[in-house]
C-alpha cells in the first residue's frame, strides 16, 4: 500500500504523537508499504524523500507547536506523482484537513488516529465548561467525516462513542519498540547516572514526559512529600511550559534534595534513565494511551500510577504495578509500599516486561495494516470538501458560494 500520514505535529518536536508516527512509519515500511509523511516545517536532519514539509509558524499559546499553512508545491508534486491507497491523519488541524480533502479528491479512505483528548487541553487557550463542550462537539463532528477511527486506548473509544461518534473504531495502541528498551548502553548509563547523582540508599522513581499542566507532575511532587521514606527520590525527565511552576512547588515543599529535573534526553539517554530507576511514576489522567508507561514496562520497571482507563490498558494492578486514587496521600502511600519491598519490585518488573511484549510495534503495525484493508474494502466515496468562492451575480455585485 501507498500510505499518506498527514500531521501538524512532527520532528523536531518531541512528544507521544511524533513517536507514534515514527514507530508506525518504520514498522509499516518494514512490512513492504510506502509511507509518505506530510508535516509542518522546520525540516529535520533525518528527513528523507518521503517527508514533505508545509510552511509553518510557532503557535502563540504553545511555541513548541506549529501552525501550518496547507499550501505546498512539494506536496502537490508528490500527490500528483503518487496515487495514495489510504490517507491517515494524526490531528484535525490544517494539514489533517488538507489530507481529508486529498482523500475525497482521490476517492480513497480517510483514517484518523484520535491521539489527543482535546477537551483536557483547552486550558492552553481558554478553559471554561463551554470550551470543553465545544472541543467535544468539534471532535465528534470531525470524526464523523472520517472513514474510520483508530483509538489508542479503550478510554478514547468510550469517549468518542459517548460524544456521538458512529463511524467504525478500532482500538490499536501505539506499539513499543521493545528491543530498544531492553538494554541500555554503558556510555549512556554513565552519562545519565552522573546527572542523577544517586546517593547510597536512594530509591529512584522516574517520570518521563512533557511538563505540561495536564501531565499532573505536581501531584507526583505532593505525593513525594507524603512519603515516609526520605530516601525515595523523584527524577523528572522532560521539559515544557509547566517547568517553572514545578520548580516553585519543589521549593515550597522543601524537596530540592529529593527531586532532580533532567530536561529533555536523547534517545540513548532515555533508555538509560529507565534502567537507572527503581520504578516509574505517572499521574496524568488526560492520556489517550500513556506511551511512556509501555516504554518503562519494556525496560522492566514496575509502575505506580493514578486511576485512569488508559493506564489500566497497560498496568495490571498488583501484578505489573500499583494503581492508586488520584490523591497525594494515597499516591505517596503507594510509593512507600512499592519502594520498601525490593522483592515485590523485582516481581512486578518481570511481569511488566512480559506484559509490554503484547504491545510490540510489530504486532500493532500488523493490526493497523488490517484496519487499512477493511477501510479500503468498505470504502464509499464522499463529496470533496470545497472552500467558499466569490462569484458575481446578475446585478454586478458579489456573493459567496460553494461548490462540492
End-to-end CA distance of the chain: 28
Question: 371 and 232, same structural domain?
Answer: no
> 299: closest CA among 324, 335, 269, 333?
269
DSSP 2: E
Q: How many domains does the chain have?
A: 2
On whether residue 396 sits in a domain, the answer given is: no
For the residues 128-155, what does the mean pLDDT come to?
94
Domain assignment present for 109: yes
Q: Which residue has the higher pLDDT, 309 or 196?
A: 196
Banded pLDDT at 387 (limits 50, 70, 90):
very low
**66 is in which domain, residue-wise?**
2-175+360-390
pLDDT mean across residues, the chain? 91
Bridge partner list, 204: 233
| Alpha helices (H) along 197-286 | 217-226, 243-252, 267-276
Residue 402 located in a structural domain:
no
Q: Are residues 158 and 225 in the same domain?
A: no
CA 123 to chain centroid, in Å, comes to 18
For residues 149 and 96, state if they share a domain: yes
Same domain (yes/no): 344, 261: yes
Lowest mean pLDDT across 164-178, 352-366, 381-395? 381-395
- Chain-centre distance of CA 341, in angstroms? 32
Residue with grid cell 483536557, as numbered in its chain: 120
Residue 399 confidence (pLDDT): 36
pLDDT the model gives residue 262: 97
- Calculate mean pLDDT across residues 195-212: 95
The pLDDT assigned to 125 comes to 64
CB 178 within 8 Å of CB 360: yes
* pLDDT tens profile 122-140: 656 667 878 889 999 999 9
pLDDT digits (tens, 9 = 90+) for 41-100: 999 998 999 999 999 998 776 767 789 999 999 999 999 999 999 999 999 999 999 999
pLDDT band at residue 102 using 50, 70 and 90 as cut-offs: very high
Cell numbers for 18, please give them. 511524533
Nearest to 119 by CA among 265, 285, 242: 285
User: Do 163 and 282 lie in a common domain?
Assistant: no
With contact defined as beta carbons under 8 Å apart, do 264 and 195 qualify? no
- Is residue 88 in some structural domain? yes
Poorest-pLDDT segment among 320-324, 336-340, 393-397: 393-397
Q: How many CB atoms lie within 10 A of CB 250?
A: 22
The Cα-based distances of 322 to 37, 70, 293, 301 in angstroms read 38, 45, 12, 12
- Confidence at residue 123, expressed as pLDDT on a 0 to 100 scale: 58
Same domain membership, residue 322 and residue 185: yes
Q: Look up the CATH number of the domain holding residue 56.
A: 3.40.50.2000
398 belongs to a structural domain = no
Note whether 80 and 117 are within 8 A (CB): no
117, 131, 136, 277: which is closest to 195 by C-alpha? 277
Separation of alpha carbons 2 and 128, rounded Å = 42
The pLDDT, as a whole number, for residue 393 is 45
The neighbouring-strand residues paired with 282 are 305
Query: Is the CB of residue 264 less than 8 Å from the CB of residue 14?
Result: yes
pLDDT band at 200 (very low <50, low <70, confident <90, very high): very high
22 and 136 belong to one structural domain: yes
As a whole number of angstroms, the distance between CA 301 and CA 276 comes to 10
Tell the residue number behind the cell numbers 495514495, with chain if given: 84
- List the one residue out of 345, 215, 289 whose CA is nearest residue 207: 215
CA distance 54 to 75: 8
Three-state DSSP at 325 gives: coil
Average pLDDT value for residue range 183-207: 97
What is the mean pLDDT of the segment spanning 3-18?
Answer: 93
Q: Do 142 and 251 fall into the same domain? A: no
Burial zone of 73 (CB within 10 Å; 0-12 exposed, 13-18 middle, 19+ buried): exposed
Give residue-wise pLDDT tens across range 229-247. 999 999 999 999 999 999 9
Q: Indicate whether 142 and 203 sit together in one domain.
A: no
**Residue 6 above 60 pLDDT?**
yes
134 secondary structure, DSSP code: H
Amino acid at each position: 500500500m501507498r500510505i499518506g500520514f498527514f500531521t501538524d505535529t512532527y520532528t523536531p518536536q518531541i512528544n507521544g504523537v511524533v513517536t507514534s508516527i515514527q514507530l508506525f512509519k518504520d514498522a509499516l515500511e518494514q512490512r513492504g508499504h510506502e509511507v509518505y509523511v506530510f508535516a509542518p516545517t522546520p525540516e529535520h536532519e533525518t528527513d528523507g524523500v518521503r517527508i514533505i514539509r508545509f510552511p509553518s509558524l510557532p503557535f502563540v499559546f504553545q511555541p513548541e507547536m506549529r501552525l501550518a499553512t496547507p499550501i505546498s508545491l512539494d506536496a502537490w508534486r508528490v500527490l500528483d506523482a503518487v496515487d495514495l491507497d489510504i490517507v491517515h491523519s494524526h490531528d484535525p488541524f490544517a494539514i489533517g484537513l488538507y489530507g481529508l480533502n486529498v482523500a475525497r479528491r482521490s476517492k480513497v479512505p480517510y483514517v484518523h488516529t484520535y491521539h489527543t483528548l482535546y477537551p483536557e487541553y483547552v486550558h492552553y487557550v481558554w478553559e471554561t465548561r463551554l470550551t470543553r463542550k465545544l472541543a467535544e462537539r468539534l471532535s465528534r463532528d470531525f470524526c464523523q467525516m472520517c472513514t474510520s477511527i483508530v483509538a489508542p486506548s479503550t478510554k478514547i473509544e468510550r469517549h468518542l462513542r459517548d460524544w456521538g461518534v458512529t463511524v467504525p473504531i478500532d482500538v490499536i495502541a501505539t506499539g513499543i519498540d521493545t528491543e530498544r528498551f531492553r538494554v541500555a548502553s554503558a556510555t549512556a548509563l554513565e552519562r545519565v547516572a552522573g546527572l542523577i547523582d544517586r546517593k547510597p540508599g536512594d530509591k529512584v522513581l522516574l517520570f518521563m514526559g512533557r511538563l505540561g499542566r495536564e501531565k499532573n507532575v505536581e501531584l507526583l511532587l505532593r505525593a513525594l512529600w507524603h512519603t515516609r521514606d526520605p530516601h525515595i527520590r523523584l527524577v523528572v525527565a522532560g521539559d515544557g511550559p509547566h517547568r517553572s511552576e514545578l520548580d516553585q512547588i519543589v521549593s515550597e515543599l522543601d524537596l530540592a534534595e529529593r527531586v532532580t529535573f533532567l530536561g529533555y534526553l536523547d534517545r540513548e539517554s532515555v533508555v538509560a534513565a529507565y534502567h537507572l530507576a527503581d520504578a516509574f511514576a505517572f499521574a496524568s489522567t488526560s492520556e489517550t494511551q500513556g506511551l511512556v508507561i509501555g516504554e518503562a514496562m519494556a525496560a522492566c520497571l514496575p509502575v505506580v500510577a493514578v486511576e485512569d482507563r488508559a493506564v489500566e490498558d497497560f498496568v495490571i494492578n498488583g501484578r505489573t504495578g500499583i494503581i492508586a486514587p488520584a490523591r497525594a496521600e494515597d499516591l505517596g502511600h503507594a510509593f512507600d509500599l512499592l519502594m520498601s519491598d525490593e522483592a515485590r519490585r523485582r516481581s512486578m518488573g518481570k511481569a511488566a516486561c512480559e506484559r509490554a511484549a503484547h504491545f510490540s510495534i510489530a504486532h500493532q503495525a500488523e493490526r493497523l495494516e488490517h484496519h487499512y484493508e477493511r477501510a479500503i474494502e468498505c470504502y464509499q466515496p464522499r463529496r470533496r470538501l470545497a472552500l467558499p468562492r466569490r462569484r458575481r451575480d446578475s446585478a454586478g455585485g458579489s456573493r459567496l458560494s460553494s461548490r462540492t
